[in-house]
Structures are given as C-alpha cells and as structure tokens.
Structure 1
Amino acid sequence: MTPRRQLVALVGADLLSNLGSRISVVAIPWLVLETTGSPVKMGVVAAAETLPYLLSSALGTPLADRLGLRRSSILADVGSAGLMVAVALTPWLGFGTLVALVAVVGALRGVGDRVKHVLFRPVAEAAGVRLIRLTSVYDGLGRVVTLIGAGMGGLLIWWFGVTWAILIDAATFAVCAALIGLLVRAPAAAGDGAPAAPQGYLRALGGGFRYLGRDHPLLTMLLVISALNMVVNASIAVYIPLWVADVLGNPAGLGLVLGAFSAGALLGNVLFTVLGPRLRRDLTFAVGAAVSGAPRLLVLALSEDLPLVLVVTFLSGIGIAVVNPLLGVALYERVPAELQTRVIGLAGSLAFAGLPVGALLGGWTVTAYGLVPALLAAAVFALLVTTIPLLTALRSQPAPTPDPSPVPPG
C-alpha cells in the first residue's frame, strides 16, 4: 500500500474510533437510565471514563513506547471493542461492574488515541504531506465527527435500542484495530511493532515531564488551550444554556448558538488548511486564541440580541480553528522523536484537564454571583490567559522552523 493510502487509513481509523466514542457518550448513560432510573448514576458513569482517560494519556505512554506504538494502538482498540461488548450484553452484572468496565475503556482509549497521534508524523512524512495541512484537516474532520456523533448515538438508540447502539460502538473499535493492523505499516522509527530500548518506567515518564518543563513556548500553548477548554466547557454546560433560557426562553436557541460556533470552526479549518503554511505561527496562534475566548463571553454578558451573539460566536469559532492544528505542529516539530509518545500523552492530559474543571467552575460562579458577573469574569480570565503569557513567552523564543514539505521516497 502506498504511503498516502496508509495515512488515509490511519486518520480514518482514528476518526472512526472517535465517532464510536461520541456514540458511547450518549448510549452508556441511556443504558444506565434504562437499568437504574437514576440521574445521579448517569452522571457517575459519564464521568467514569474521563479521569482514567486523562491519567492513561500521561502515565501509560512509557509502556506504549516499550511495547511499540502500532501494536499498542491495535491492542487498545481490540480491548475497547471487547469491553464495550461486555457493557452491552451483561447489564445484569450491576452498576459497579459497569463503572469499572467503562473506566478501563477510558484508560485504553487514552493510550490508543495518543499513540495514533504520534504515528501521524512519520506516516505523513513518508507520504509527503505537510504536517500543518495534516493537523488542520484532521482538526476539521474531528469537529465534523463531534457534530454528528452525538446525534448518531441518539438515532441508533431510537432505531435499534441501546444494546445495539453500544454494540455498533464496539464494532467501530474493532474496525479501527483492523485498519491499523492490515493497512498501516509505520516506519521503524515510529515503533512499528518494535519495542523501545529498555528503560525504567519512572525514568521514561520523567523524561517527558522534564522536556515539557524546559520547552516554555510549548508549555505556554498547552496552558492556553487548557484554559480555553475550561471556558468552552463552562459555556456549553452552563453559560449558554442559562443565557438561552433567560433571554430567549426557547431551547432551539441553544442549537443555534452552539451550531454557529461549530460552523465557524469548520470554516476556519478550511481557511487555515489553505492559508496556514503562509502565516506566522506564533502571531496566528495568539490571535486565534484571543478571538476564540473572550469575545463570545462578552457578547453574552452585554447583549440580548441573538443575531449579534450568533455573528460573534461564529467569528470566535473561526479563531479556535487555528489553535489545535498549530499545537499539533509544534508537538511534532519541537519534540524529539524518541520523546513524542510521552510528551504528546502529557500534552493531551494537560489540554483536556480544563474540561471537567470548567463545568464545575461554571456552575459555581453562576450560583455565587449570577450569570452576567460570571460571564464577565470568565471573559477577563480568557483575555488574560490568551494574550499576556503567550505573547511574552513567544517574544523570547524564535518561531518554530517551517514545515519542510517532505518528499515521499521514490
């Protein structure tokens, strides 16, 4: 198989795995509702996957280096498929067993997702695809998967029932493992089934921490993205639903506001895929991060005009579209190949850490101070974390070397 087809298979497998995960986000809480009738237990099982996912993304990657990236990806997906079949077919085992199974799936997914992302670089270079274009296209496709995944989960439950919806989710993991196993042959440098040189677990893990602590521009980018994730999740979980309820009184407005942000992000991905290689990266990241956070919060705090809110939210979505692709390129270009699994794992955990924190802080700030003060405080926070620290760090460091557009081997 040609290198470009291997890249398509790898990216397709990762997106298919993400689609299955979005289905399970809907299907598993629904299974709990059907079997227990408890909203509290729905929340518990929904959260049970998140913490193991974050922990394994950071702590499991040294083991993946030792086992081999491609092999780790296949085993993680096969294990996830088997466990999701168990979730679907054995609901009588009890709620505690269900939580344990879901937690193990989360841990496997954390490792599986990270190693696939590490494989992107060598496979893309072998295919002659520029990394900045790959990360931009992947981010856009990932947003499409996120948009359709939850809706697909609901439709599958409606059409076939929750058991079959979860079995379909399990099938996506199995197909993902088959695609990687049969169609992807990563270069040897990427750990294509070859274990890494023996190294103690703690020493290997510490190497990732030490590198990330020394690379101040990269660490700053990660902290900014973690802060943005915190603000975004607070907005989705708390701020936007409350604004819609208070101002519009119609739940259809929630779909409009969230849809405007997603539509802006998709357009931004298209624009960045075309223009990204010509733009100055540090400035583009800073502007995109600043546009994506504070403006959409300020317009909710200061306006009750839905068209204005939709326009500003749409523009904020365009801004967010440059952030993740530029972080991906920075990770691939700045981090030595032998450390990428560990550093990318730590980066994923740090970036996603803002998600659960954001939902908690969103609810607390509204309860303590009211919606408008909470929005204003979040806007000020977003403005500070997306401009001052980032620009200060990047001014003291040279911009990353442009992507060299590797030539595929003859």
Structure 2
Amino acid sequence: MTPAMFLPYRPVLGQPVLRRLLPGLATSALGDGLALVAVTWLALQLAPAGQRGTWTAFAVAAYTLPGAAGTLLLGRWLGERSGAQLAGWDATVRAVALGAIPVAHLAGVLDVGLYVALLAVSSLLHPWGSAGRFTLVAELLPQRHHLAANALLGVFGQAATIVGPPLAGLLIAWVGAVWVIAVDAASFAVLAVSYRLVVPAVRRAGTVRHEDEGRHENPTAGPSRASGFRIIARDRSLLGLLSLSFAFFFLFGPFYVAMPVYVTDDLHASAATLAAYYTAFGVGSLLGGLLTGHLRRWPLRTTLAGIVALFGAALLPLGLGAPVVLSLPAFVLAGLVWAPYQPTATALFQRRAGTVDLPRVLSANGAVTVLAVPLGTMLGGPATALLGARPTLLACAVAILALGLVAATAAARPGAGSARPTGPQATGPHDPPGPPDQQGRASAPERRPDRRVGAAGAG
C-alpha cells in the first residue's frame, strides 16, 4: 500500500472530534469481530441437547433484528437527537446488556432464554446508533469528505472480520465464550465514554464550521416530524436507493445457506475451504474499503449500480462450478467491489437528506436493510433443497447482475433522481460537485443553510 492510497482520508483524520473517536470506534469494531464467533458458540453451549440449531438461530437473529423494531417504536423520542447522542446511547445500551451476560453467568442464572433476551436488548438501538455515527460525519465534515469518512468507518469493521474470528477462537479456548462476550461489552463501554467526552467538542466544531462556511443557525427551524420512512417515500431518489439496497442484500442472503452446502456436498471439501472463501472475501473487502475514498469524484448512483453488477459478475464463477483456483480469486474481487457499497449509499443519503432529517432517514434505511439478508437467508433453505447448492448460487449471481444492469439503466436515464430533495443540504437533480475549485471556494451545495449542523447535547 502506497501513501497515496491514504490521501483521501487525511481530512477525516485531521478533524479533531473524529480523531478522538477513532480509537473507540476501532475498539468496538474489534469487539464485534470477536462476537461473530462468541455469540453463536455461547448459544451452542447454553442450548439444550437437540435444540442447538434452533437456539443458535435465535441468538443470531436477536443480535441484529430487534433494531428494526427499535426504529419503528422509538422514532418519536430519538428522531430529533444529534448524531453523537444517538451513537453514544446505542453504545451504552450495548455495553450494559452485553455486560449483563457474564454477570448473570457469575450469579449462576444464565440460561439460553435469558441470553437471547439480553442479546435482543443489546441490538434495540443499533440502527439509531449507526444513523448517529454517519449523521455525526455529516455534522462535522463538508460533503466532499463524506465518502472517505464513511469508508474509513467501514474499514474498521472489515479489518475486524479478518482479525476478530481467529482471535475469538483463541480466547474461547483459553477463557470461554462468555468472557469473550464480556470483552465485547467492555469495547462498547469504551466507545460510549468516547462519545460522551466529545459531545461538547461536537457542539464547538459545528459552531466553527458554521462560521467558516457562512451559515446561520435558524433557532426556530426543527426537524421534520415525519418518520424516516415517510421522508424516504417522498423522495423518489431515496426510495429507489432503499429498494436497490434491499434487493441487493436480499439476493445475497441465500449464499449463507448454499455456500456451505456447495463446499461440503459438491466440492467434497473441508471447513478450511469454506474459511478460505470467507477470508478471501474479507481481504478483498478490506482493500476495497481503503480504495473507496478515491471514488469521491464518481457519480454516486452510477457507482452503486456498477458495484451491484460487478458483484454479481464476480460470483458467477462459483455458480458455474469453476475450480477453486479460479473461484477463490473471484471471491477476492467480490469483496473488493462489495466494500464501497455501504459508504457510497450512505453518502447519497447524507447529500439528499441533510443533517436535520438524516437520523430518521438512516435509521429507517438500517431497519429495512437489516431485514434483507435474514429474509434472503430464509429463502436460501428451500431454494437449495429444491434446486441444489450450485444452481442456487448461480441463480443469485445472475439475479444480482441483472439488478445492477437495471439500476445502471435507471441511473443513466435523463432526469434520474430529480425528485424534490428532503433536507436543507439536499442538492437538487444531480449529485453535487465534490471537491472545491482551484481557488479553494466551497461548492454551492455546501454553502446552503443548514438548520442544525453540529447541534449536540449531553442528553
């Protein structure tokens, strides 16, 4: 890796508030990487004999899905909060709920039912926390740096998926899965404290940015009372983006079922081969995350459509039954093109919605997309049983490729995305220019008034 690869990330690392948050974000990402193994392993240990598969599925679902309910039930109370508050509260809830698991273990009362319930509580605010994290990016940085900042936050997670699982395996063998969960809880406690400490700095940074960009706060203007789903429904561009994301993740869901069956039944290979595919994907996604910041000059909608199409094409060798020596590098390519999708989609949300409605919009987006992969995975079971593992993989790859081509056609259509913007930072019919001009003047969209840039409170 050359120093030029990190050039887009220098303004992000130079932002004082984000720089102070990065260690906490990296720590919690590592904790989540450990949890990829620890959550399911502890469920297997706690579940009664003969019910391990069922309770493991419940545990995995509980660690992700309740966030969708949190989006629907808590919007009235959380929709008007600042990015730092939302992200900090999510980290606090996760730290407390996950920390209760080793406490219950020490007290001798931990069973599989209580374990799943605590996992569900820990994930209740997760879409709001993710929305808060990216809202904070929009509060602190100009638009031209959003994509790089989103990508940098994603790189932590991608690196953690490579480092976390093998480290979790060592720790589980040494101290047990319940104490790996305790480490995960401690990582979120570190993050919660980090957010709490930077809240005053967020307020000051927002004020300074206001003055630098010539913006004026309107104290009487408040966020929309509409839910994030209604805001998205009023903007054809955002509705199309949400539909693309849901379809993309849904069509990938069956891979989680068909892939292990393909490795064992068709290739007659071991778990090490399956792990090699996942590792290849993780390495590719890490490289793709680092490259994402260099895409800031590309049109966002066209980039998203191209990512989906290329991802489907990269999965074709696996579905066509290509030898491992060919399909494994294709999985590296799949990870490479997968990584920029979420940062790019989030950047488009940030540009269309603005910081006022952004928490509601991103939380609604998170609630929908968090359901997409599990629903696709549920479809993968009967599809694999009916068609077989390799045909299921091929069908998903072709469907994803077709989805990308349809999205590319829609993005190229004249007037695409010309729906009325939903927030004060929205930019009109087309993606806004990214970097400033040669004289250093900010582009026009960045000089528009923002009713609440950098507003934050201690909560």
Instruction: State the TM-score, normalized to the length of structure 2.
Output: 0.77
Distance 2:348 2:306 in 1: 17
By how many angstroms is 1:197 displaced?
Answer: 8.1
Distance 1:69 1:137, change over 3 A: closer
- Which residue matches 2:261? 242
Q: What amino acid does structure 1 have at the position aligned with 2:120?
A: A
1:50 equivalent to 2:64? Answer yes
- Which residue matches 2:31? 20
By how many angstroms is 1:46 displaced?
Answer: 2.1
**Which structure has more helix as a fraction of its residues?**
1
Instruction: State the TM-score, normalized to the length of structure 1.
Output: 0.86
- Which residue matches 2:183? 168
What is the SS of the residue equivalent to 2:322?
Answer: coil
- Which residue matches 2:225? 204
Q: What amino acid does structure 2 have at the position aligned with 1:326?
A: T
Q: Contact 2:297/2:434 (CA < 8 Å) preserved in 1?
A: no
Match of 1:293 among 293, 312, 333: 312
Distance 1:111 1:313, change over 3 A: same
Distance 1:250 1:366, change over 3 A: same
Distance 1:122 1:12, change over 3 A: farther
Distance 1:26 1:315 in 2: 25
1:187 equivalent to 2:203? Answer yes
1:322 equivalent to 2:337? Answer no
Q: Contact 2:41/2:177 (CA < 8 Å) preserved in 1?
A: yes
Runs of 4+ off more than 6 Å: 188-191, 196-200
Q: What amino acid does structure 1 have at the position aligned with 2:178?
A: T
By how many angstroms is 1:404 displaced?
Answer: 4.4
CA distances 1:114-172 after superposition (whole Å, capped 9, x unpaired): 212211211234xx971122122222332112222233322222222223212211111
- Which residue matches 1:105? 122
- Which residue matches 1:305? 323
Q: Contact 1:220/1:393 (CA < 8 Å) preserved in 2?
A: no
Q: Contact 2:38/2:168 (CA < 8 Å) preserved in 1?
A: yes
* Structure 2 counterparts to residues 11-410 of structure 1, below 5 A: 11-37=22-48, 38-39=51-52, 40-57=54-71, 59-91=73-105, 92-125=109-142, 130-184=145-199, 185-187=201-203, 204-206=225-227, 208-235=228-255, 237-245=256-264, 246-274=266-294, 276-296=295-315, 298-393=316-411, 395=413, 396-397=415-416, 398-404=429-435
Unaligned 5+ runs, structure 1: none
By how many angstroms is 1:267 displaced?
Answer: 2.3
Distance 1:28 1:288, change over 3 A: closer
By how many angstroms is 1:394 displaced?
Answer: 5.0
Q: What amino acid does structure 2 have at the position aligned with 1:55?
A: A
Q: What amino acid does structure 2 have at the position aligned with 1:293?
A: G
Q: What amino acid does structure 1 have at the position aligned with 2:99?
A: V
Distance 1:340 1:187 in 2: 17
What is the SS of the residue equivalent to 2:169?
Answer: helix
Distance 2:179 2:330 in 1: 40
Question: Across the two proteins, how many residue pairs are aligned to each other?
Answer: 395
By how many angstroms is 1:353 displaced?
Answer: 2.0
RMSD (Å), alpha carbons: 3.0
Q: What amino acid does structure 1 have at the position aligned with 2:112?
A: F
Q: What amino acid does structure 1 have at the position aligned with 2:163?
A: I
Distance 1:403 1:12, change over 3 A: farther
Distance 1:393 1:101, change over 3 A: same
Q: What amino acid does structure 2 have at the position aligned with 1:403?
A: G
CA distances 1:316-365 after superposition (whole Å, capped 9, x unpaired): 22222332221121011111321100001111122222110121111110
Q: Contact 2:86/2:131 (CA < 8 Å) preserved in 1?
A: no
Distance 2:384 2:43 in 1: 29
Which range is displaced more, 18-27 or 298-307?
18-27
Unaligned 5+ runs, structure 2: 1-12, 208-218, 417-428, 443-459
Distance 1:100 1:321, change over 3 A: closer
Q: Contact 1:60/1:111 (CA < 8 Å) preserved in 2?
A: no
Which range is displaced more, 135-144 or 331-340?
135-144
Distance 2:375 2:41 in 1: 24
Q: Contact 1:131/1:329 (CA < 8 Å) preserved in 2?
A: yes
Distance 2:393 2:285 in 1: 21
Q: What amino acid does structure 2 have at the position aligned with 1:101?
A: L
